[in-house]
Amino acid sequence: MTSTAADISSTLLDWYDEHARDLPWRNPPGAPSPQDSDWPYRVWLSEVMLQQTTVAAVKPYFERFTDRWPSFEALAAAGDDEIMAAWAGLGYYSRARNLAKCAREVAARGGFPEKEAELRELPGLGAYTAAAIAAIAFGERAVVVDANVERVISRLFNITEPLPASRKAIRERAGEITPEHRAGDFAQAMMDLGSSICTSKSPRCLLCPLQEHCEGSKAGEPERLPMKPPKKAKPERRGTAFWIEQEGHVWLVTRENKGMLGGMRALPDDGWTAGQDGSGERPLSVDWEDLGAVRHTFTHAHLTLSVARTREAQKPEGHGEWWPVSDLDEAGLPTLFAKAARLALARD
């Protein structure tokens, strides 16, 4: 490393030693990685959960998962329905499906691989997650770049090329300042700096340990970095979910194990994932009570989901299960259908 790069990494690590966040999946700054086999499991689980999700949202899920399944072996032995139900509400459900696949793959291998390249071979582990696990769990020098790191590096080196084209330059610059030792602490220091000081709006430059090195701050208006292309408007979709109730039970289905909300328990719906106007068929030829609608935003679209209810004692065609309404919280409904259920229950 050049002397400047060494100065940046050592300054940031000194700051991290004093200001690191206390998180349930973290080792104290500067401490050697624990040698027990559960440590890589905890790092991996936290990194998968944190993808596109806030620390505040992840904390209770992480604690529930590790209480219930404290190791790869325990999670690998769990059923898909158990895992999906426990994940409900955390979003991006393909992560939960890959979580189960990865745990079983690791159990079959007899352990977690330690090298970044081998980690990339596991289900659901992309470049960022593999690098983060290699650095944090195993101390390998790996270049870890998430959204926080993209922001810090873009400002630190005044990279004005818009995303996503700038990602190559960002990664190269991050590689220049990643130290040989304490790469895991360095990666977490970058994340903490981005989340607490080098924030997307109103960065707190006067408190930043890297201000004297920051070319973006010297150029003025560091908050404009990283440059991003204009966001495209999200399309609008409409659909209907069906609350079919009899004798204190509601009919739930398990969605096909692919695509959005795949593998999750849900209320039956009219196929809004395939259509734009919510004009699909209703599952029973009965009188339906229209209860109103709920609104939900996915990464790719906005959805207005109407809710229709019947209490006529008929069993719909296809696979499903009668679930006690009093125990509906235990069904693990994803957020969209939990909203629809709350609407149905509020209309009693």
Q: Which residues contact 8 (CB under 8 A, 6 or more apart)?
A: 156, 177, 210, 213
Calculate the CA dihedral of residues 185, 189, 192, 196 and round it to 10 degrees.
150
**Helix or strand holding residue 12 (H, E):** helix 3-19
Question: Where on the phi/psi map is residue 145: left (φ > 0), alpha (ψ -120 to 50), or beta?
Answer: beta
**Number of alpha helices (DSSP H) and beta strands (DSSP E) in the chain:** 13, 6
- The encoded tokens of residue 60 equal 């209770």
* Residue 98 and residue 110 in contact, taking contact as beta carbons nearer than 8 Å: no
Strands (E), the chain: 236-246, 249-254, 265-266, 289-297, 302-310, 321-324
- The encoded tokens of residue 251 equal 């009919």
* Residue 256 and residue 193 in contact, taking contact as beta carbons nearer than 8 Å: no
Residues in the chain: 348
How far is the C-alpha of 267 from the C-alpha of 340, rounded, in Å?
8
- The encoded tokens of residue 34 equal 């624990």
**Residue 18 catalytic?**
no
Report the greatest alpha carbon distance in the chain: 76
Give bridge partners of residue 332 from the DSSP assignment: none
Cis peptide before 60 (omega within 30 of 0): no
How far is the C-alpha of 198 from the C-alpha of 221, rounded, in Å?
12
Among 18, 47, 73, 140, the active-site one is 47
How far is the C-alpha of 114 from the C-alpha of 338, rounded, in Å?
39
Question: Where on the phi/psi map is residue 292: left (φ > 0), alpha (ψ -120 to 50), or beta?
Answer: left
Which residues are identified as catalytic?
47
